[in-house]
Structure 1
């Protein structure tokens, strides 16, 4: 699959993975599902779910460090600004042979386009937050989030892989 095709697939994935509703209990259940799947995969990640300017779930697994929370903050800022996954934004900028700083004037101190933060979208509402992980290579971080959201919503893995 070419980079352009992968970017189109990521956009379709973001549009497809929308919640009918989302609340504090949803955040708890999704966060626990992310933790369980990360453990199953042998990953050591920090997990964060932000909804409407409030952190509803945050968990740092053994083997992570405060740096992972900082990576989450920077990746989440990308999602909240562009309403796109941090992985898709990184791929989009790479295809344009540019950076966030060069193209948008955004500091790398506050924004990171590495994979692992995904838009929390509510159907007929839009992006209302971000679901983020940090600790694995960027593609694994992205896949962990997107695949767990897909399973959480009862959608087919084949469409998001």
Structure 2
């Protein structure tokens, strides 16, 4: 699969994985599902789910560190600023930091997979689900899988192919 195909699929994820509502209960359900998967599969993950003004869910499993939380913060900032999945930024621009002329300070922004916009019907993008601990494409996949499960959608339709 080409990068262009991956970008098109991530755009499909962004527009197709839309919540009817988003509140503390929904954040807890999605976050708890990600944490349960991490524990069942022995994954070291930090999970953060938030609206732009407050954190609604946070979890860190064994093997994570403060670095993972810092990566989450930077991914969230990138999702908020660019209004797209942080992995789409990677596909479009390459992994790493934004060029200096973007004004996106590397201390606060990063191009790395795992941040995904929370889109609500009738409201648009209101926050982000963000994961750190695996390679970026896999972090992204964990979030997409959890959103598909929550929405009752077939993960195969939205999953990026294995590399």
Q: Do both proteins adopt the same fold according to a TM-score greater than 0.5, normalized to the shorter chain?
A: yes
Return the offset for 1:19: 0.2
Q: Could you tell me which residue of structure 1 aligns to residue 138 of structure 2?
A: 140
**TM-score normalised to structure 1 length:** 0.93
Secondary structure of the corresponding residue to residue 100 of structure 1:
coil
Structure 2 unaligned runs (5+)? none
Secondary structure of the corresponding residue to residue 49 of structure 1:
strand
Q: Could you tell me which residue of structure 2 aligns to residue 91 of structure 1?
A: 91
Aligned equivalents of 1:42 and 1:140: distance in 2?
A: 14
Moved over 6 A (4+): none
Would you say the 8 A contact 2:96–2:112 is kept in 1?
Answer: no
Q: Could you tell me which residue of structure 2 aligns to residue 16 of structure 1?
A: 16
Question: Cα 1:64–1:105, aligned 2, differ >3 Å: closer, same or farther?
Answer: same
Q: Could you tell me which residue of structure 2 aligns to residue 158 of structure 1?
A: 156
Q: Could you tell me which residue of structure 2 aligns to residue 113 of structure 1?
A: 111
Q: Could you tell me which residue of structure 1 aligns to residue 147 of structure 2?
A: 149
Would you say the 8 A contact 1:87–1:117 is kept in 2?
Answer: yes
Return the offset for 1:38: 1.8
Would you say the 8 A contact 2:97–2:109 is kept in 1?
Answer: no
Return the offset for 1:39: 2.1
Q: Could you tell me which residue of structure 2 aligns to residue 58 of structure 1?
A: 58
Aligned equivalents of 2:110 and 2:148: distance in 1?
A: 24
Would you say the 8 A contact 1:93–1:99 is kept in 2?
Answer: no
Return the offset for 1:71: 0.2
Structure 1 unaligned runs (5+)? none
Secondary structure of the corresponding residue to residue 99 of structure 2:
helix
**TM-score normalised to structure 2 length:** 0.92
Give the RMSD, CA atoms, in angstroms.
1.6
Question: Cα 1:76–1:52, aligned 2, differ >3 Å: closer, same or farther?
Answer: closer
Q: Is residue 123 of structure 1 aligned with residue 121 of structure 2?
A: yes
